[in-house]
A and B are shown apart, each in its own frame.
Chain A
């Protein structure tokens, strides 16, 4: 089946630093989604990408849909303490609404 691998697995950064993480797939996706999960909560949808090459921003977050349709990256600029959490990429399986989730990137901000 489809697999989504995220890197890095975890990040420890200083407040104010920029963050970059990516997601790669063994197969093509037509949609890329980025979710954030905070402790004790369900994932919250941050950004949705629908076209190869698309670059979309949501505040300090920017994500791009790779040209090959097999990868996506998420950048966070000027990180703040509330950015802490686990970031998941996800995409619908071809032909249906079921989502495959990536392995996740855990972001920790060092005070």
Chain B
């Protein structure tokens, strides 16, 4: 399966600032996804990021707050803008990729970025 890295692994930010999270994959993938995991909660999809087109956002998430870039097939960034304490969460990227362990392409996740907003 694909090896996915995220930077930073964690950050503490002040209210009103922005944080850009990077996601790097060791192979070319078509589908990349960004998720949010609020403290003690499950994962919620923010948006789907495909190379060459604008990201597709889920209900409740907007581009002004969560701008996404996808410049090539191995890299994406998610920016969380105008931070407030409610944005404190783990942000995870995932990719759809092949693994010999599974019959079809499945989603594999990066280690996450833990954001704390003061």
Which residues of B are found within 8 Å of A88, using beta-carbon distances?
A: 42-43
Closest Cβ–Cβ distance, residue B113 to chain A (whole Å): 10
For the complex, what is the distance from the CA of A31 to the CA of B105, rounded to whole Å?
12
The CA-CA distance from A31 to B107 in the complex, in Å, is 12
Tell me which of A50, A101, A103 contacts B104 (CB under 8 A). A50
A48 to B92, Cβ gap below 8 A? Answer: no
A44 and B96 contacting across the interface, CB-CB below 8 Å = no
Task: State whether the Cβ of B111 lies closer than 8 Å to any Cβ in chain A.
Answer: yes
Interface string of B76-118 (1 = CB under 8 A from A): 0000000000000000101010010011101111111010000
Q: DSSP majority for the A interface?
A: loop
**B42 pairs with A42, CB closer than 8 A:** no
Q: How many residues of A contact B (CB 8 A)?
A: 19
Q: By the criterion CB–CB under 8 Å, are A98 and B45 in contact? A: yes
Contacts of B33 in A (CB 8 A): 98-99
**Chain A residue contacts of B4, Cβ below 8 A:** 42
> Do the beta carbons of A45 and B42 come within 8 Å of each other?
no
Known: A88-B43, A98-B48. A42 touches B106 (CB 8 A): no
Count of interface residues, chain B, beta-carbon cutoff 8 Å: 25
Q: How many A-B residue pairs have CB under 8 A?
A: 52
Known: A97-B96, A98-B48, A104-B42. A41 touches B106 (CB 8 A): no
By CB atoms of chain B within 10 A, which of A42, A44, A48, A97 has the most?
A: A42
| Bound CA–CA A88/B58 (angstroms) | 20
Determine if A33 is an interface residue (Cβ-Cβ < 8 Å): yes
A43-B92, A98-B48 are known contacts; what are 20 more A-B pairs with Cβ within 8 Å? A31-B104, A33-B106, A33-B107, A40-B111, A40-B112, A42-B112, A44-B109, A45-B102, A48-B103, A48-B104, A48-B106, A50-B103, A50-B104, A97-B107, A98-B45, A99-B107, A101-B43, A101-B44, A103-B42, A104-B42
A-B contact pairs, 8 of them (CB 8 A): A42-B94, A42-B111, A43-B43, A45-B106, A45-B107, A45-B108, A97-B48, A98-B45
